[in-house]
Amino acid sequence: MNDTMIGVIGGSGVYEIDGLENAEWREVSSAFGTPSDAILTGTLGGVAMAFLPRHGRGHVLSPSSAPYRANIDALKRLGVTDVISVSACGSFREAMAPGDFVVVDQFIDRTVARESSFFGAGCVAHVSVAHPTCDRLGTACAEAAEAQGINVHRGGTYLAMEGPQFSTLAESRMYRDAWGCDVIGMTNMPEAKLAREAELCYASVAMITDYDSWHPDHGEVDVTEIIRVLFGNADKARGLVARLPGLLGAARQVCPHGCDRALDHAILTAPEKRDPALIARLDAVAGRVLGRTSS
């Protein structure tokens, strides 16, 4: 089994992490395009770490233009085993207040304009995302948040919207009342689906900045207010991340939920019908089951 390597994808307001030993920003190339930015690597408490700012340093990429496939492929190529997303989100629940964190365990995917799979013509695969996050990793995130004194909610459904505009009042009410969602953001899909295809454990820490537009006492989403809450949340997130190496440990265990074996029975295309060009691009994501095509 490989050693643990924790990959952190930082969302809005989270453009670096602190305290890495041997810290180095590394350009990592991917077979699926250019990642959002270079990746900050190093070690923390004896555990290998990799940090990637989802929108790039300086926040240059929108939720729709972030290269989700390149990001996950690049993390996999580096040797990442566990991916933690830290993201800003709006809340649909009175009890989930701005400044609170939610360890998300379900998603409703309403994104429409993003490449959402590594597979396709020439190599068709269908993975299960019934349980789209890794419970072992999510539990570690919740424990880290609690130890950090963060008000954290274990479990919640994240509505992933295309954006970049925020929701209408009617949408906000529908997501909350009819669809039972807890939080809303623009980036965790297709990221979570791609992590599953790449056999990476994935957990999402959603950091609440606002009540979206449904709340009668809070009115519309206001970016100035979001940014004010966002930077406080980002400080807390860095504290949470610093506790993860101690909770996960350097020696990687087989995932008890099977995230690291998601492709075992997923590929349908007959070996002789597979497209060699696509198979070559899948060397990192699916090399375990396809047989590696490069070193």
Ligand X SMILES: Nc1ncnc2[nH]cnc12
| Minimum separation from the CB atom of position 35 to ligand X (A) | 22
**Closest among 218, 238, 217 to 226, alpha carbons compared:** 218
Burial 236-247 (b: 16+ CB within 10 A, else e): bbbebbbbbbeb
**CA–CA separation, 9 and 6 (whole Å):** 10
Residues 149, 236: Cα–Cα separation, whole Å: 9
Least distance to ligand X, CB of residue 208, Å:
8
State the binding partner of 54 from ligand LNRAV4D5, ligand X, none, CB within 5 to 8 A by kind. Answer: ligand LNRAV4D5
Q: Within the chain, where are the H helices?
A: 68-78, 135-147, 169-173, 188-197, 223-248, 276-281, 283-290
Is residue 187 annotated as involved in ligand binding?
yes
210 labeled part of a ligand binding site: yes
- Catalytic site residue 210? yes
Here's the x/- map for ligand X, 79-98, by CB under 6 A: it reads as ---------xxx--------
User: Does 68 appear as a known binding residue?
Assistant: no
Does 212 qualify as catalytic in the annotation?
A: yes
Q: Which residues bind ligand LNRAV4D5 (CB under 6 A)?
A: 11-12, 54-55, 63, 87-88, 163, 185-187, 226
186 labelled as ligand-binding? yes
Q: Is 55 annotated as a binding residue?
A: yes
Query: Pattern of binders to ligand X over 25-44, x per CB under 6 A?
Result: --------------------
Residue 9 interacting with ligand X (CB under 6 A): no
Given the residues 100, 182, 212, 283, the one annotated as active site: 212
Distance CA 292, CA 202 (A): 23
Shortest-Cβ-distance residue relative to ligand X: 90
Angle at 68 between CA 86 and CA 179, to 5 degrees: 65
Exactly one of 73, 135, 210, 283 binds ligand X (CB under 6 A); that residue is 210
DSSP code of 31?
T
Alpha carbon distance 235, 192 (integer Å): 24
Q: Is 226 in the site for ligand X (CB under 6 A)?
A: yes
State both tokens at 268.
């349908």
**Residue 168 beta carbon to ligand X: minimum distance, rounded to whole angstroms:** 11
Tell whether 12 is in a known binding site.
yes
Q: Helix 188-197 and helix 68-78: axis angle, to 10°?
A: 40
40 in Cβ contact with 30 (< 8 Å): no
11 interface partner picked from ligand X, ligand LNRAV4D5, none, CB below 5 to 8 A per type: ligand LNRAV4D5
Selected binder of ligand X within 103, 209, 233, 238 (CB under 6 A): 209
Contact residues for ligand X (CB under 6 A)? 88-90, 161, 166, 184-186, 209-210, 212, 221, 226
Residues noted as catalytic: 210, 212
